[in-house]
Structure 1
């Protein structure tokens, strides 16, 4: 650029203004085609439809008799026995599991050996064998006594009067459940960070206080969901108490099947549906327990089924609006 006389610089010619960029057109992102997934989905839907059709239309299932038996008082009485046995065994099994886990983690070699032997034995022996052994326990020990070993007895009582069918069922299930609960509790305690133990010890806190106020509350995050999952197996295991003469849900159905041999299949379907309902309720409890103890461990809590349903409705509404706009 040349200067004019006197050192005056002339104004530069204005450059043309840049043209604004063109507004991008809205384009819908096409998802990746997965023909294999659609084929497998179609095959599964066909198989499910055939299964449901056969389940509904096959006269062998006798759905009218199923409806007759489903809410009969005798079935509901058996269901109540199942709930009682499961509830008592769950509480007693958890308490026994906590004691066994503490013994397994103690500094006493005797307690560790006894706890390990108990867990090893009860997890190795089938539950039905434990129940039958307890049911015939009076044949081995007609009387039980409390006193000095190899010395005089302070209290003596008849074992056959104490061991009713309900007691035998609850004790057998509780003993078996305690062995599995002990491993669940021990794993939960070991999952607590070692720094928590060291920090509590550095503060000079008593061992019992450390466990009650620091270690065990943190271990519950791992113990509770796993033990709730263990309850599903316990509910199904209650069907074995029929073999110790306790008429639970399964035992009642077996007894009614002997009286009404033509209704064996409908009665089995009644038992199946009731067990599905019970285990589904336990699964719902498990979900909310896991969600409760996930607080502080995850950034966002897992959505509830209602929240998932609402989110699915919102996604469907947004897609319909996008398609309408295009």
Structure 2
């Protein structure tokens, strides 16, 4: 179990200045991330099913509040509407709802007690101003943590701006986890909250070494210290699968290693395709779960195949795909599990370009 991070921040409203403890999130999880975690906990769930449930819950919650109801989810939260505004007399009409209505959400007592009883706080040093990369995604496929040589990489966060025309003012770098480092030059936008650029991707020793890190460095004053941030999640380039069919062996789902953890060995297809392969470490059952995905988060998915050791596996396609089956070979089962646990938060996805 990890700790709850916090750091002291100056409270500018007091004189002399005092400090307030401020929570520092380790990560920001959305629907897809929570759905993937729930899929790991319970093999009866699928990421697509849980994501759909979240969307339905949001719709139902909104409808109940519109109908004037209060919603309480046991051990989670209570949600209801409140009103604000001034009435000069009890007969005055309510101001327009856009000005007076508020939606409030309160955590349950049990949730607060569970977190406070089982959590452990960890103090961080007082913050220095640093650039922050909160999210990276390919703008062509709209997929997080994908480094597409034919697209544009979008970084969003805080304090990212640097003057690209001034030597030494800052830089953006893509670095392979096995080898290779390239300073980026083809920028479409450089702002405090967003950087967009067409990536120049350094080569790495083997085709399956498709794992990269991206960092941003900047100075906040002419003679200031160069400050650097590295995005916490690896980026992965698409893996090319040419001459698709029996007899091939192309490494995938690997990091910086000299040997591939998994390889594509063949399959059946009615045409070319670009799709994704996903592997999840099921922590509760202690095995790996493989399946094929389309190119949309929360979109179509093939049936899951559970894997407990090295060996050959056939993954079925999904509705509408030209790939009917994909044959893979798990070569380093234990090492793949370890990488999933330590580097990828138990979920790893590769884009496959099959021709």
Fold conserved between structures, TM > 0.5 = no
**Greater helix content:** 1
Shorter-normalised TM range: under 0.3
Choose between structure 1 and 2 for higher RCO, CA contacts under 8 A separated by at least 6 residues: 1
Which of 1 and 2 has greater Rg?
1
